[in-house]
A and B are shown apart, each in its own frame.
Chain A
């Protein structure tokens, strides 16, 4: 029974990783840009929510709603002013610029908030749980997982049911021909990053409320997100959720054996999938 519990906890943890990954996946899908600062942007979002909570005294969920438009605009400006300049055949500029951005964000946060661990308090909700037979499930893990599913459903709707989703797909296929349709690829990319930052805000809310965070934990989140994307197969958001779940379960199982093995077990699961299915579990297209 303890194993069933461990696996369920792992599945729910996978929801958090899928949230980390969804924004990364969205941006990569549309402009083939891998943002090495993605994890740091999530941590930045968590600090932003923390500030809103402490300054305005808002509930963290409301604070996230306040933070979301700020993150949206930040994403738009970042893409329009900085990242659009790096797009092209050469993979070096986007990688090195986002890597530099990662270092800047981390150290900016260190300067502003010190290396001390922080946590966004949710009061009683933090420990609230519901019982299913002998298994007790935390309300927050359940909420995280539900949010991940909602984000993926929402992004899929956006992608396949709206005009901007059509523009995303067309620009991803062929930016030059898209411009002949009255689409400005630069703006499509800016909108995509802005939307990805809304997802980042949701991820940041759960990152900050479920555990302690400090300015240095961004890269590790990037790595979990990346592993989830690769395991799931590029371009498939449901695959990303599956990938997140695999990392989550591997981590909780590893931790059940030896707490020191938690992170290592997740990485090893990733390497095994890479070995067996190099294109991921649910690759899109041929």
Chain B
């Protein structure tokens, strides 16, 4: 019997992945009930790095905009949160939104400058702007200038939901804050992946792939490459700012050198995406797990750890440019987040296409 034609992006694997993903998210949400504080902190690290990686991947892997200055938005978001809490007396959880908005607002002039530079020069241009942001924030005395500052104890104590979490899980306030930060990070990570997946499947997202593959050709079929760049850049800045706010809410202590660190917020993120597989949603997920494992084994070796990471990154880029996920999907044809539309059904389609 012939089924009717249908255009779909779904594959059997993606349906299984969706169900498995929902179960995984549910388990992760319940994790504070059975996992210790150390595990929660590890998971928080993984989730926030995953968010940063997904947004950098959106920029570089899909948008062709290789930024080496994402630390600008981590730092600006984090400092906006500290400013809102310390100077505005706003609840830290609410201030996370302010962190995202601040990064979004500052992304506008950043893009204005950086988009004047092409390709590789765009990369260094974003780096310059991140440096300007770092040096400027270091002049902001109210949040500690060059030496940095801590979140006030009062603000942390009165933070929304913390009391409730503390009672529900019977933990101290500091552990309750970690749980709250973890839940927020999990929500952000799920929203990020769902949001990017949705964006890539819209008409606009398909246009994005066209722009990445060939700006000229995309323009000739009416894709506005310039506008897509703005959409991608601003979206990434917003998400990166949210993550930056969360990271420093959890750390409760900030300094310009840490918050605008190119190693912590851009180098690791690039390695996550490159090792996992650039230009895929699955890649950063695999990459962040690889990074976490490497860190667990090698973190004691300090500089060796980064050197090995750098060498792995170079090796992957040279010999398997589509990363670990590229290797996996090449061998198995697996796609957990398919974006390509396929024609199914119809008279000839009872066999798999």
Instruction: List the interface of chain A (C-beta within 8 A of B).
Output: 28, 32-34, 36, 82, 85-86, 91-97, 99-104, 106-108, 110-111, 219-220, 222-223, 226-227, 230, 260, 263-264, 267-268, 270-271, 274-275, 278
Residues of B in contact (CB 8 Å), total 43
Instruction: Tell me whether B20 is interfacial, beta carbon within 8 Å.
Output: no
CB pair B124–A96 under 8 Å, yes or no, is: no
Smallest Cβ distance from A51 to chain B, in angstroms? 18
Instruction: List the interface of chain B (C-beta within 8 A of A).
Output: 60, 64, 66, 68, 113, 116-117, 119-121, 123-125, 127-129, 131-132, 135-136, 138-139, 146, 262-263, 267, 270-271, 274, 278, 302-304, 306-307, 309-311, 313-314, 317-318, 321
- In the bound complex, how far is the Cα of B211 from the Cα of A21, in angstroms? 32
- In the bound complex, how far is the Cα of B4 from the Cα of A65, in angstroms? 77
CB pair A226–B314 under 8 Å, yes or no, is: no
CB pair B303–A264 under 8 Å, yes or no, is: no
CB pair A86–B128 under 8 Å, yes or no, is: no
CB pair B113–A271 under 8 Å, yes or no, is: yes
CB pair A263–B135 under 8 Å, yes or no, is: yes
CB pair B113–A96 under 8 Å, yes or no, is: no
Q: Which listed residue, B121, B136, B278, B303, touches A230 by the CB 8 Å rule?
A: B121
Smallest Cβ distance from B280 to chain A, in angstroms? 14
**Chain A residues near B128 (CB-CB < 8 A):** 223, 226-227, 267, 270-271
Q: Which listed residue, B68, B127, B271, B321, touches A93 by the CB 8 Å rule?
A: B321
Known: A86-B317, A97-B313; 9 extra A-B contacts, CB below 8 A, are: A32-B120, A100-B317, A103-B307, A103-B310, A104-B307, A219-B127, A223-B128, A223-B131, A264-B132
Q: Which listed residue, A91, A264, A274, touches B66 by the CB 8 Å rule?
A: A91
The residue on B at minimum CB distance from A262 is B135
The residue on A at minimum CB distance from B135 is A264
**Chain A residues near B310 (CB-CB < 8 A):** 100-104, 107
Q: Which listed residue, A28, A86, A219, A278, touches B262 by the CB 8 Å rule?
A: A219
CB pair B124–A271 under 8 Å, yes or no, is: no
CB-based closest 3 A-B pairs: A34-B120, A103-B310, A104-B310
